[in-house]
Structure 1
Amino acid sequence: MGEIGRLERIPLREVWKHEALDFTKWLEENIDVLNEALDINLSSVEREHPAGPFSVDLVAEDEAGDLVVIENQIGKSDHEHLGKLITYLTVLEAKTAIWIVTDPRPEHVRAVSWLNESSAASFYLLKVEAVRIGDSPPAPLITRIVGPSEESREIGAKKKQLAERDVLRYRFWEQLLEKARHRTKLHASISPTHHSWVGTGAGKSGLSFNYVARQHEASVELYIDRGKDSEEENKAIFDELMKHKENTEAAFGGPLEWQRLEGKRACRIKKTIPLGGYLDEDKWPEVHKAMIDAMIRLEKALKPYIQKMKF
């Protein structure tokens, strides 16, 4: 076997002394290096392209004819260059942004990953180094740190869907709580939330009257949970209330679901309302009315027994 050389890294400033005059100019003339690193095909490269009152290091076109902005930074990635990259992308209405740095900070790696999940544009963060073997001329080594992918797009779509659901749930609770205030003081001091439930104390520690909203159904409940290491106490409270099941359901005006939840810490007594949930916006008035009616009856039926408990 012949002699095998060792790869040596060279300070980038020894190869390209000036970022704009040397490195950016070299990249303009050798864009194929970038094409190979990213497996894309960039052409029509233009240096110092105007973007409003600013100038982009490099602007190119991809195979579809869409603009690609390229921002170079010989040094550690910083907020200023990230801001420039986003500004150039939006001003030129480009579809792809490439940020080339010598030292990508972890915070900027996460930021570019987030941009790929949260926007329709494609963002690349690349690390550039200069290397050589023995006395060979220096050569560029470009490593892809972050880039767009189907996985990032799927994550972004899922996050958007979850965010939209959070907004919908908030509006669901906002409207329900406003209507409830006109009929009962039970949840009068409670604010809307993005969560799947809102609740208030039932007069004893660890007991709460909760409204719960799922995608296509809702419920009201007395939830029993006194926190860490309280399973036995929670079950004892439930069992005490269970003794009054017949009278409680008579006062409520119908059957309830008595869930001791064996093997779990908490317990609940609830009434399911199958008329619709937070995704069924056209049914909200009907669902809200049924939930408020059920909550008023549930509190009235259980409160006498809760107040008498010695727990």
Structure 2
Amino acid sequence: MYKVNLKENSLIQLEKRFFKDLKIRERQHLQEWISKNPEVLEDELLIIQKEFDGFSNTSERLDLLALDKDGNLVIIENKLDDTGRDVVWQSLKYASYCSTLTIPQILEIFQKYLDKQGNHENAKTKILEFLDVDENNLVLNQNDQRVFLVANSFRKEVTATVLWLREHDIDIQCFRAVPYSLGEDVFLQVEQIIPLPETKDFIINIREKEKEEKEISKKVKETNQYLIEFWQNLKDLLQSNNLHYLDNVSASSRWYLGFGRGKGNFNYCIGSKFFRVELYFPGDSEKIYFNRMLEYKAQIESCFPSEIIWQELKGKKATRIKFEMPKATHDALPGKWGDKEREIEVHKWFLTSMDKFYNCLSPFLDNL
């Protein structure tokens, strides 16, 4: 790794180090860094416990326990310069222990963590906000648990076992954490090595398809089926009105459906409180486009007749520009979730709102 000296147009090589030489400790340092900055492993993780020891008939502790955006539990095991031989076995034990955790137990674990940190927020509220769902659709630990291994060096027997487990649909990933130094300054590079990031999306798509074919709870299965039908019906409505935004997008069981435009995504969203349409910039590198769009804020808001919300998502790399269904319109919707009559009215709102929203924002997006 090199530091770039732009003034002299040169590179300064950083010295690759071992954690032990820098007196960096596993729990005191590496674990704490990841708990405060989980995005070094994955963009959207919620740490819900450190040094978790709530296992029956054992005194073992897992380093970090987290939730991902799908409500899955993530077991994070940290090592320093060497994984040792038993890290995979150890992490799989923890995953098996966590497999039986229920929603009330997970909420209790997270509440204890928040209280211990001096953050007296409500655990359920925080998780609902993180997952962007309402209480009726809260599903946690429904699928198999995920495992993240973090270390400077991985033994061959460890990587071979991880690759074999992945072939058998165990979601386990390896991250190499390497410290560097330059004088008194210390740097840390964390990179995913299994699976390679370039193949991750492809692998995830295959697994999601396979998981859809597995037997899941009746409630989740019904919700997923309804979402697919909901988005398919919206696609049909758009096409019948000669709007082709979703022609190349398949209906899915997600709470949003969208299409790409430049560096952003225009999404139709079922939020935890209101329906919305949005222009979503997914990562840190796309924030520049959000900031550039802000330069046109007055012009955009003058061409769109309703209130637009500009949102830098706190604690996340993503940003969004959104228009939500007004509360009065939402409260006047007929029926309840899943009723055909209600769905028709929501689809009508999606159709007109996205068309106006897209036509207003896309010229400014093109200017970027």
Normalised by the shorter chain, which TM-score bucket?
0.3 to 0.5
User: TM-score, normalised on structure 1?
Assistant: 0.44
User: TM-score, normalised on structure 2?
Assistant: 0.37
Q: Report the structure number with the largest CA radius of gyration.
A: 1
Structure with greater strand percent:
1
